[in-house]
Amino acid sequence: MPYQAKVTVMFRKSILDPQGAAVERALKAHSEGIDISSVRVGKVIELMVDGPGPDIVEEKVKVLADRILANPVMEEYTVQVESLS
Which residues form the domain of 56? 2-83
- Would you give the DSSP letter of residue 81? E
pTM (2 d.p.): 0.87
User: Residues with Cβ < 8 Å from 57, sequence gap 6 or more?
Assistant: 3, 5, 49, 51, 81
Distance CA 31, CA 78 (A): 29
- Domain with residue 65: its CATH number is 3.30.1280.10
In total, how many domains does the chain have? Answer: 1
pLDDT by residue, tens only, the chain of 85 residues: 999 999 999 999 999 999 999 999 999 999 888 999 999 999 999 999 999 999 999 999 999 999 999 999 999 999 999 999 8
SS3 45: strand
Distance CA 63, CA 57 (A): 10
